[in-house]
Amino acid sequence: MSKSTDVRILEARCTFESLDFRTPLKFGGRVVESTELINVEVDVESRDGRVATGFGSMPLGNIWAWPSAEVTPDQSAAAIKKMAQQTVELAEAYPEFDHPLDTIYRLSGEYSHMAGKIVKKMDIAGEFPELAQMVAASPLDAALHDAYGRAADMNSYDMLSEEFMNYDLAEYLDEQFEGEYLDQYTLRTPKPKMPLYHLVGALDPLTTADVQEPIGDDLPETLEEWIAADGLTHLKIKLNGDDLDWDVARVAAIDQVAAQAQAARGCNEWFYSLDFNEKCADVQYVLDFLARIRDQRGEAWDRVQYIEQPTHRDLKANPENRMHEAAKLKPVVIDESLIDYDALLLSREQGYSGVALKACKGHTEALLMAAAAQKMEMFLCVQDLTCPGFSFLHSASLAARIPGVAAIEGNGRQYCPAGNKRWAKLFPAMFKITDGTVATSELDGLGLGF
């Protein structure tokens, strides 16, 4: 089964980079004002003697991946950083030549044990969440796929067929994928451009009247200014999930501001996604919310493209949270709960009709879940983790290579533009937005494409 393009890891390096937000971001009941990037470099050698270096980067995202009343943000961040370092050390000790899918698939079998040892040694309460483990390992995953393509002087998305993969998809998913490979579920050429989903956070001002302390950095500061400057057509709205009146009023206010801003630039078509950050007690909250939006602001209802996971991420512990009725109205996508194929199958049983892919869960996992979701004819979207620079380009490359994904989420330019400066010079049309889209045609280089 071995291929000449298989690679083995020669050396891997992990570093960290701190970045301040230009403005606070509130989600899941917490306010975030800074981020830290996990950066990983991997040197590989192919069976035929080619050597290359790949790069991966991801915000450590502990507030999202490890929400806890018992574990402080500092503790969870330290644990994720420790796991990122140990994952790199584990990879360096892996001696085999393999396709990156197989290397990561085998290494991931050690993550849970590794995480358990970390929380015990650091005296952290409870367990190390699997989602946080995936975030910690994701830069290594990306770096290995990047290096794999560079060693072969190819784009990594063009190395997902039987010619390069050692096993079909049944090895990673189940028997219905026998004889199938990832090239059937990815594109050989990236989509030329994609609409960008702009985040409207719970603290974000909508108009100049909402601005209490101007930032004064020459970037837009209100929703109406962002729409005018970037030509936005897709807005992701953060909601509380436990205050129905506020949530309905927030969407109505956003829709009113958006309607005025879009009319001023002659646009009559735009879209929303709704993110409750798991705070809804049950599906009835979602149904009540949608009913009120439909009655009070029918235009806003029509513009809702999908709803992100509205209730608790632990599907097994909350089997009563079934989404069937809501999914009849709008696509409801699984996000925080999507940690493996079994979770995807369970989400379908519980009524979810879509899948949110995230590079922060690992490039390998994203590719596999994309294939499974397409097989099951589910709605697909790609979301980010306030990803700046390389991590945003990685997320965008996934969106551009997966059929059915209609838009790419990217709010790093809003909250963390400092992390984009170096990359914006190399890929200006991915970071300078004028017509609401990013030029994903730029992501066609070696490795992951940039």
The stretches of 171-329 forming alpha helices (DSSP H) are 223-230, 244-264, 283-296, 298-303, 324-327
For the chain, first and last CA: distance in Å? 30
Q: What angle do CA 306, 35, 120 make, to 5 degrees?
A: 100
447 phi/psi in degrees, rounded to 5: 60, -130
Residues of the chain scoring pLDDT < 70: 1
Residue 31's pLDDT is 85
**pLDDT score at 29:** 74
Segment 336-358, tens digit of pLDDT: 999 999 999 999 999 999 999 99
* 188 Cα distance to chain centroid: 21
* The pLDDT value given to residue 406: 86
Q: How, if at all, do strands 30-46 and 51-59 pair?
A: antiparallel
Instruction: Give the model's pLDDT for residue 168.
Output: 98
From CA 133, how far away is CA 130, in angstroms rounded? 5
**Domains of the chain from N-terminus onward:** 7-171 (3.30.390.10), 194-442 (3.20.20.120)
Burial (CB count <10 Å: 0-12, 13-18, 19+), residue 322: middle
What pLDDT is attached to residue 2? 80
Question: Would you say 224 and 436 are in contact if contact means Cβ atoms under 8 Å apart?
Answer: no
pLDDT tens digits for range 240-297:
999 999 999 999 999 999 999 999 999 999 999 999 989 999 999 999 999 999 999 9
pLDDT of residue 1: 65
pTM (predicted TM-score): 0.96
